Structure 1
């Protein structure tokens, strides 16, 4: 099925926001980059912030679908999937055009906790945290909430480090640290 104009606009805007940032991207730039007229853009979105929220929703859906599918492809056990997340990150870090996490950027650019963009970014991280806690629970760890939180922390730190150090190595470093935490959480 052919995507409608709104979906196409969101997909194209997502690429521009990811490449150039949110505050640095004005509506005129979006009009030029997406090929959508200002009239059409405002027909679908009253403000740039509404378009950003829609772009983040699309990114959330696509990233989580890819990430969760990929860790299931890499391992069929909860413990293995917790570790495989770092292998998936390493693959992502090596992609052409990799520029880090849109949700970290969104949270940094829109820091007011009540702002819809900040809430969308926080919702993405909460969904990942919930998934890690679920895997830690299924693995039978002593404190699944703590381990899930620690895995998320390592994941997020690896993303930031990979961008700032221009390296894929943080994924492997984080995986090694996660292995220590998982082993400790599984010890009886």
Structure 2
């Protein structure tokens, strides 16, 4: 995996509460997503973040989050949360005392309280979502990006690098 830290901003509006911008940091070495803080919704600033995520195409984000991805985003969130009691969670927030600007991410901001499992079918879990906030949606969008886009791209790059190394060592097969 890449050893660079990934910074992202997720802008969200259209749900319960005021519009917001989530600032998050992903460490590919530890596979940990750190939710840094919420700001009032603001424009994406080139050079300060590497990935911008928004459901609004007019903002020209690097990733357009579509509401049709909500089920996948919920699954990504629960995968990243993991079993916190076993210590395998890959999602954390900076403590409120350390947040100097903006609002800290609190347990109340997490999507858990707005989501309930509503059975399962052949395609997987079904969810019922009620009164979800902009903050919770921003967290879901960040988890969705890490699980489905960033890590998939990193895994493909790692595979290609490994394959190249094997070919360079003469382990390739010719026909």
Task: Provide TM-score, normalisation by structure 2.
Answer: 0.25
Higher share in strand: 2
- The structure, 1 or 2, with the larger RCO (C-alpha pairs under 8 Å, 6+ apart) is 2
Q: Please identify which structure carries the higher helix content.
A: 1
